[in-house]
Amino acid sequence: MGALEVSPQSQARGEREVPGTADPRSGTPLSARATRLIAITGLASFALIMVAALILAPPLWDSPSQTAPAAHVAAYLETYHGRLLVSQLVYSLGMGLFLCFTAGLWSWLRRIEPAPEAVSAVFAFGAVALTLLILTSFATADVMAYRPQQPALAVALTDTTFGLLALSGVPTAVCLGAYAAIVLRYRCLPTWTAWLALVAVDAHLLIAASFLSHGSFLGLEGSVIVVVPATFFAWIFATSAVLLRTSLSSRAAS
C-alpha cells in the first residue's frame, strides 16, 4: 500500500493520511476518520439488508414461483403483508445507507484516479441508478402488500417488482465494473475485492436476462433472484471491512 504520509491537516488532528488517498490535484487528504466513517456506513447498510432479508421478510426462496396460480400469489401477499411492509422499510433504509456509502467511496476513489476521473464518475452514476431502480421495486412491493389485491393484479405487481430488481443488474454491473477497473489499475485496495466485484458483474448481467426465461432458474421469480444479489452484498461487506481495517491501521501507526 505504500508508506504513510502525514499532511499538515492530519498532523493537527493527530491522524495519518490513509494510504493512497492523497488528491493528486489539490493535495487534500482523505483522513483515516473519514475513511472509517465510509466503512461503518457500508457495514451498517449490509447489516440492515441482512436483517431485512433473513429475519423480517418471509423467505424469498419460499415466495410463489412464476408458474404459481394467481390466487396463490394473492393469498401469499395477504398472509405476509405485515412482514413484507416492515422488511421493505428496513431494506429501503439499508439502500439509503448504501447510497451514502458509495458517495463516500466515490470520494475515496476519485482521489486515486487522475483527471478527468471518468471511471470513478461511472462508479458514482451506476450506484445512483441501481439504487433508484431498487427503491422503485421496493415501492411496487409496498403497493402490492399494502392492501389485499385481486389475483391478476397481485401477479402483475409481483412481476413488476422482480422485473425492476432484474433490470437493476445493469447499473450494478456498471458500478462494480468501474470499481474493479480502478482497484486493478491503481492497486489502492486489495485486488481480491476487485475480483469479487467482477464476479458480481457477471452475476448481475445474468440476472438482467431474467425476462428471457420463464419458470426456470433464470426466470423473474427463479432462484437467480436469491443467488445473484448475494454477490453484491458480499462486495459491500468486503469493501467496507477493508476500508475499516485500512483506517484503523493508519490510526495505530500514528
- Residue 120 domain-assigned (yes or no): yes
- Residue 20 domain-assigned (yes or no): no
Place of cell 490510526: 251
Of the candidates 235, 213, 231, the residue with the CA atom closest to the CA atom of residue 222: 213
3-state secondary structure of 72: helix
- Residue 169 domain-assigned (yes or no): yes
Q: Which three cell numbers stand for residue 71?
A: 390466487
pLDDT of residue 218: 67
The residues with which 31 forms a beta bridge, in sequence order, are 17
Spatial distance between the Cα atoms of 31 and 49, rounded to a whole number of angstroms:
28
- Residue 26 domain-assigned (yes or no): no
pLDDT of residue 14: 42
pLDDT of residue 12: 41
- Residue 7 domain-assigned (yes or no): no
pLDDT of residue 72: 86
- Residue 24 domain-assigned (yes or no): no
- Residue 164 domain-assigned (yes or no): yes
Calculate ∠ Cα 227-231-232, nearest 5°.
Answer: 115
Note down the domain range covering 51: 38-244
Report, in this order, helix, strand and coil percent for the chain, each rounded to 5: 75, 0, 25
**Residue ranges of the chain whose pLDDT lies below 70:** 1-30, 213-222, 250-254
Task: Tell me how many domains the chain contains.
Answer: 1
- Residue 254 domain-assigned (yes or no): no
Cα separation values, 91 from 6, 46, 118, 218, Å: 39, 10, 30, 23
Radius of gyration from C-alpha coordinates of the chain: 20
